[in-house]
Amino acid sequence: MTAPSITIKDVAALAGVSPATASRVLSGNPATSADSRQKVAAAVTELDFHPNAQARALRSTRTNVIGLLVSDVRNPFFADLAHAAEQAALAEGLVTLLGNANESIPQQDRYLDTFISQRVDGIIAAPQGEGSSSLRALLEREIPTVFVDRTVDGIDVPSVTTDSDAGIRQAVEHLARQGHERVGYIAGPQTTSTGRDRLKSFARAAGEFGLSTDPALTYFGDFQSASGSAGAHHLLGLAQPPTALLAADSPMAVGALATLNRKGLRIGRDMALVAFDDIEWFSLLDPPLTVISHDVEAMGRTAVRLLLEVIDGQKPASVVLPSELIVRASSGTPDASLGQP
């Protein structure tokens, strides 16, 4: 008989694979290599391992479906994130149900409730707000959950986020060296972790590199393009307007760019512009846009890996990915006449 101390972790160790891979092999998941199946089968035989009936029954209830909730499907960053996660999940034999929160807590909760009712195996979510009842229901029901891009204070689940501080600091230092003193910042909503963290990073870097800390230079947007347009319009209307703008995400940068174009300002000459997030066509603009870049593909893949580990009963550590400044022609030296009363 199998010794009570023999577990799937012992099988995985002997086979030289991860517990998640061993679990998928034993549950008959087709998303496993022939080599892994052979190694696991040999380890099972050597250890005389027999999964107990309860564990087998639990595995049989799996749907091989996960829920993926993004903040705004129109945002190219989240579109790329969804694609990366969906492809990574598909490679593991999982189908993805996609939900679009549209930066709205009620819409988020409607999708989360649907994911729960559909009995998905787990959920990857870019959460809205500071912790709705539906988000907390995931914990109460012990549904495997991973947060991506954003986190919520008081909800302890594995997450994949970006170290925004490094890229923002590089951007502020670059603008300061270009001679900019008044930099307008179009911030994201302060109800999100990314909105708060990026604003703190900008304020800290502005003080460090001698930029103006005038609070009028910060406009609070909502991570959508219309607020970027409104933010640029507001900041350009100040008695002492900025000579550069930094937008906290790509849709707000697009909105700001539209306003600058409508006003006939030359990007990189009359007004510098930097965007957080790099999207494919930013490098194709004339002039190409300076950006704070981070690896959205790695974020999607890592979120799926962490979720599979949670589903298999593990407690993976959260992952923080780097960000970096990519300098292009949009962040030039300010015109000497700009910003004068």
Q: Report DSSP letters for 233-272, one per residue.
A: HHHHTSSS--SEEEESSHHHHHHHHHHHHHTTPPBTTTBE
**Residue 338: band (very low, low, confident or very high) from pLDDT cuts 50, 70, 90:** very low
Q: Which residue shows structure tokens 């930094």?
A: 246
What stretch(es) of the chain map to CATH 3.40.50.2300? Answer: 65-162+296-322, 164-294
Q: Residue range 106-113: average pLDDT?
A: 92
What stretch(es) of the chain map to CATH 1.10.260.40? Answer: 8-60
CATH fold of 65-162+296-322, please? Rossmann fold (3.40.50)
**Residue 335: band (very low, low, confident or very high) from pLDDT cuts 50, 70, 90:** low
**Residue 3: band (very low, low, confident or very high) from pLDDT cuts 50, 70, 90:** very low
Is the predicted pLDDT of residue 57 greater than 80, yes or no?
A: no
CA distance 167 to 276: 8
CA distance 148 to 162: 9
CA distance 219 to 74: 22
* Predicted pLDDT of residue 44: 86
* Predicted pLDDT of residue 37: 84
Burial of 284 (0-12, 13-18, 19+ CB in 10 A): exposed
Is the predicted pLDDT of residue 11 greater than 50, yes or no?
A: yes
Average pLDDT of every residue of the chain? 89
Q: How far is CA 58 from CA 23, 52, 63, 67, in A?
A: 12, 10, 11, 19
The predicted-structure confidence for 189-227, as pLDDT tens digits, reads as follows 999 999 999 999 999 999 999 999 999 999 999 999 999
CATH top class, domain 8-60:
mainly alpha
* Predicted pLDDT of residue 303: 98
143 forms bridges with which residues in the sheet?
A: none
* Predicted pLDDT of residue 54: 43
Q: Residue range 30-46: average pLDDT?
A: 82
Predicted structure pTM score: 0.77
- In 3D space, the residue among 244, 259, 258, 253 whose CA is nearest the CA of residue 279 turns out to be 253
CATH superfamily of 164-294: Response regulator (3.40.50.2300)
**Residue 51: band (very low, low, confident or very high) from pLDDT cuts 50, 70, 90:** low
Percent of all residues in the chain with a pLDDT value above 90, rounded to a whole number: 68
Q: How far is CA 34 from CA 30, 64, 108, 265, 311, in A?
A: 10, 20, 40, 60, 23
Per the model's pLDDT, the better-predicted residue between 279 and 177 turns out to be 177
Q: Which residue shows structure tokens 């000579």?
A: 243
Q: What is the DSSP letter of 163?
A: -
